[in-house]
Structures are given as C-alpha cells and as structure tokens.
Homo-oligomer: A and B are copies of this chain.
Amino acid sequence: MRKIEVVQGILDANDATAEGNRATFDANGCLAVNIMASPGAGKTSFILRTIEGLSRDTRIAVIEGDMASTVDAEKVQGAASAVVQINTKGMPESCALVADMVHVALSRLPLDQLDVVLIENVGNLLCPAEFNLGEHLRIVVSSTPEGDDKPIKYPLIFADADAVVINKSDLLPYVDFDMDRFTQEVRNLNPRVRFFPLSCKTGEGVAEWVAWLHDQRPSG
C-alpha cells in the first residue's frame, strides 16, 4: 500500500517548497544563507560587509525581503552580482519571507554563476523563525542597543540559529548590554551555536565572520 502524503496546513506546504529550493541551491553548488533580525539591527550593513569580505573569490546574490520599498535592494545593488527584491505587503503571509517567495526569486537569478545567496528576511524576530526557506544556514543578527534579554523573549529564532552575530559592538560603552548574559542565554537554547561580535560601522570583528562563512561553502 502506498503511503498517502497529507499536507497539513501552511507550514507543511512551506516545508515542501523549501525542500525544492534546497535541491535547487545544491544542484548549483550555491550556499544559501537566511539572515534574520529585528528592524534596525543592521542586516543590510551586515550584508554589505559580508559581500566586501567574501567577494574576491565569491560570486554573491542577495534576495531582499521587505514589507515595502526597495531601499535595501538599492543599497546592495552596486556590491552584489545580482539582487532580487521581494515586497511582502499584501501577501497572505506578510510577516516573514516564505519558501514560495524565495522560489520565485530563484527563477530570476543566474544560479549556475553564483556561489552564495544571501537572503535578507524582513525585520522580525518572531515569524521568520517558523518558515524554512530551503537555506543551508540560519543567521540571527542581534545588536547591542536591543538589550541582552532578547534570547529570553524570542527563544525560537535563537534556538534554530547556526550563528548569532552581535552587531554594533562600537556602541557597547553607551548601552546596557551584558555580553556574557546574552551568550549564556543563547547557549541555554542552542549549545552548538557560533557567536560573532562585530561592528559593521567600524569593521571590527567582520573578518572572523567572513572566514567562518567562507568555510561553509560546499567547495570549502
């Protein structure tokens, strides 16, 4: 007797599409990175620093997810090999990128000529945690002015992260942020996670992140 597959609601359907995206990335030897953060944590500056760090021997595309506007796509346009903007406003699930949106974006990208696809999710620590896009790596960008209690209040997104970037380290003298408390709270949820404290403004700490990401590519 053949097994009957039942698609149970939106998250199962999303997982099926995500699996297809993942197969497409793999077939093209592309590393796909889902970058998630609060509004204003510095995702776009982080993407620009990442492209700058990797780009000598790496061809990079960016998929920009925003509720509205193309401001982020315009910022990365000059740096990346290719950019696709997704505006989620008015879509049935407007609170995060979903696998279907990424599936459409992939059809607009020259995947066989790319090594890395950076996916900038919408600014939100809640909904993006629920939607698999077919990525290989899930990165959370936190920032020091947001405070060190975010892992306690938004546990899901930290529990599934491969790496947590702690941006705006240059503001540490001016804000209340206990680095040890923050990293310990994340480790309680996710013992295998990697941390990268850095400043996209000054560039401090970016090299360590870029070196690690470079090593995650299928080719090493």
Chain A residues with CB under 8 Å of chain B are: 38-40, 66-69, 71-72, 89, 94-95, 122-127, 143, 145-147, 149-150, 152-156, 168, 170-171, 174-175
Contact = CB atoms under 8 A, between A and B. Distances in A.
B145 A171 contact: yes
9 contacts: A39-B150, A67-B154, A68-B154, A68-B155, A71-B149, A89-B156, A95-B95, A126-B127, A127-B127
Contacts of A95: 95, 124, 126-127
Contacts of A89: 155-156
Contacts of A127: 95, 124, 126-127
Contacts of A153: 39, 66-69, 71-72, 123
